[in-house]
């Protein structure tokens, strides 16, 4: 039906309809209407919420406004996680639009990083890309790129330019034909139920026997609790970009096609709804 390239597009153009409401205790001069927005799954909250900020600042007194932050059902949302990951991790299987509460006070210092400018997001994003390439190619690809290529990756994300981004990112997804895959797969596994931020280990895409490692192999290896099933039933959902790929899916393919722009596979493991 489709080409693998369409997966890249689908991943890139994933959107989450979101309803922003101002936290009830924020002091306003008049009542603030909720603000509705389609958030790109692959982007970062603080990168795409200028409009939200403006909208709510209009109804607030200047002195009441400090750094904006977001919360969903009591959980402060980490801006440095991609939006799609935040949604999959905290709000899968809930009704849309996603309802996010906007705060301007009482910044939760222990939960969130500050984000005073978009340069901070850029730095974080580029650091992730570099880390991913260190895993994939011993940093060889990213280091061979020019500064403007790095800039193009960032501008592509920031301006939602698929072609612009992939013109460069393509190089990061290549590997020597004799290797059959990356050196290690850049992935992070997040669990809604634990305190631990995420699991990240060295994991090769190809088994010593030469066959391709699958998503199932990865989970078995680094997070067996996600799939062990005493009674033969999987109690969890393994989500990437809002879908549950089969455990038979080769991890190398996933890494090439379903990584976030930061080149990591961000995998959420959440309890399966019981209904």
Partner 1 sequence: VWYRENVCHHNPEGSTWSLVTTPGEVVQISCGPYDLLWATLWEGQAIVREGIDRNNPQGISWSTVESPSSENGIMHVSVGVDVVWCVTKDRKVWFRRGVNSHNPCGTSWIEMVGEMMMVTVGLNNQVWGIGCDDRAIYFRQGVTPSELSGKTWKAIVSGRESDRSQTGSSTSLLSAGCFFTDDIQNQTSAVIQGDADPSSDTELPTSPASPALLGAAAAGNGPASQAGTSARLPVDPLHSEQGEGTAASASNDKDNLEMNKSPANPNPSAELQWINIDLKEAQKHPVLSVSSFADTSSLSSLGAFSVGAEDQYGADEHPLWAWVSGGGCLVDLHSPLKWFTAPSGLSSSVQSLSLSITPAQTAAWRKQIFQQLSERTKRELENFRHYEQAIEQSVWVKTGALQWWRNWKPHKWMDVRVALEQFTGSDGMRDSILFIYYMYHEEKKYIHVFLNEVTIIVEVLNEAKHSFALYTPERTKQRWPIRLAAATEQEMHDWLSLLNMSCCESRRIQGPPSHHAIWSVTCKGDIFVSEPSPELEAGPQLMPCDQMFWRQVGGHLRLIESNSRGVVWGIGYDHTAWAYTGGYGGGFIQGLASSADNIYTQSDVKCVYIYENQRWNPVTGYSSRGLPTDRYMWSDASGLQECTKTNTKPPSPQWSWVSDWYIDFSPAGGTDREGWQYAADFPASYHGHKTMKDFVRRRRWARKCKIVTNGPWLEVPPVTLWDISIIPSSDADDEESVALWAISDKGDVLCRLGVTQQNPAGTSWLHVGTDQPFISISIGAFYQVWAIARDGSAFYRGSVSPNKPAGDCWYHIPSPQKQKLKQVSVGRTSVFVLDKNGNLWYRQGITPSYPQGSTWDHVSNNIRKMSVGPLDQVWVIADKVQGSHSLSCGTVCHRTGVQPLEPKGLSWDYGIGGGWEHITVRGNATEASRGAVPDTAEENPAASKEGEDEESKGKTEHSKTPLMVSESQELDRNSVNG
Binding interface with partner 1 (CB under 8 A): 1-4, 6-7, 10-11, 14-17, 36-40, 43, 48-49, 51, 96-97, 117-119, 122, 148, 155, 158-160, 164, 177-178, 180, 210-212, 241-246, 248-250, 253, 258
Q: At closest approach, how far in Å is the CB of 68 from partner 1?
A: 14
- Angle at the Cα of 140 (from 138 to 143), degrees rounded to 5? 125
Q: At closest approach, how far in Å is the CB of 201 from partner 1?
A: 22
* CB-nearer residue toward partner 1: 134 or 164: 164
Candidates 173, 190, 165; CA nearest to 40 is 165
Q: Nearest 5°: phi and psi at 237?
A: -110, 135
Q: What is the DSSP letter of 24?
A: T
Candidates 230, 239, 236, 203; CA nearest to 82 is 239
Q: At closest approach, how far in Å is the CB of 89 from partner 1?
A: 15
* CB-nearer residue toward partner 1: 126 or 134: 126
* CB-nearer residue toward partner 1: 74 or 91: 91
Q: At closest approach, how far in Å is the CB of 8 from partner 1?
A: 11
* CB-nearer residue toward partner 1: 49 or 236: 49
Q: At closest approach, how far in Å is the CB of 118 from partner 1?
A: 4
Please report, for residues 4, 110, 117, 175, 213, the alpha-carbon distance to residue 76 in angstroms, rounded to integers and kept in the order given. Answer: 35, 10, 19, 38, 35
Please state, as a whole number, how many other Cβ atoms lie within 10 Å of the Cβ of residue 73.
Answer: 10
- Which neighbouring-strand residues pair with 39? 16
Q: Round to whole Å and give the CA distance between 168 and 85.
A: 23
- Which neighbouring-strand residues pair with 48? none
Candidates 272, 261, 274, 271; CA nearest to 84 is 261
Which tokens in the block code for residue 33? 């209407």
Q: At closest approach, how far in Å is the CB of 242 from partner 1?
A: 4
* CB-nearer residue toward partner 1: 194 or 234: 234
* CB-nearer residue toward partner 1: 61 or 249: 249
Helix ranges, the chain (H)? 4-12, 50-57, 83-91, 118-137, 140-144, 147-158, 162-172, 215-222, 251-258
Residue 197: exposure state from Cβ atoms within 10 A (0-12, 13-18, ≥19): exposed
**Contact between residue 29 and residue 64 where contact means Cβ atoms under 8 Å apart:** no
Q: At closest approach, how far in Å is the CB of 115 from partner 1?
A: 12
* CB-nearer residue toward partner 1: 37 or 226: 37
Q: At closest approach, how far in Å is the CB of 176 from partner 1?
A: 9
* CB-nearer residue toward partner 1: 29 or 174: 174
């Amino acid at each position: 039906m489709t080409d693998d390239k369409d997966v890249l597009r689908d991943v890139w153009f994933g959107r989450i309809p979101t309803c922003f409401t101002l936290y009830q205790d924020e002091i306003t001069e008049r009542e603030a209407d909720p603000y509705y927005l389609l958030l790109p799954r692959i982007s970062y909250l603080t990168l795409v919420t200028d409009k939200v900020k403006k909208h709510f600042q209009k109804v607030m007194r200047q002195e009441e406004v400090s750094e904006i932050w977001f919360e969903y059902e009591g959980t402060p949302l980490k801006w440095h996680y991609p939006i799609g990951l935040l949604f999959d991790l905290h709000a899968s299987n809930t009704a849309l639009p996603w309802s996010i509460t906007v705060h301007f006070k009482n910044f939760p210092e222990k939960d969130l990083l500050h984000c005073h400018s978009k340069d901070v997001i850029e730095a974080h994003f580029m650091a992730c890309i570099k880390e991913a390439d260190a895993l994939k190619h011993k940093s060889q690809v990213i280091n061979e790129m020019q500064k403007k290529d790095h800039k193009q990756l960032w501008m592509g994300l920031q301006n939602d330019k698929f072609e612009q981004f992939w013109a460069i990112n393509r190089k990061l997804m290549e590997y020597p034909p004799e290797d059959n895959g990356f050196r290690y797969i850049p992935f992070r596994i997040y669990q809604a139920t634990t305190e631990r931020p995420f699991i990240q280990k060295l994991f090769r895409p190809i088994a010593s026997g030469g066959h391709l490692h699958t998503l199932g192999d990865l989970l078995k290896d680094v997070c067996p609790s996600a799939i062990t099933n005493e009674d033969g039933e999987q109690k969890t959902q393994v989500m990437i970009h809002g879908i549950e790929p089969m455990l038979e899916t080769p991890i190398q393919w996933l890494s090439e096609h379903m990584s976030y722009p930061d080149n990591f596979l961000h995998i959420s493991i959440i309890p399966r709804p019981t209904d």
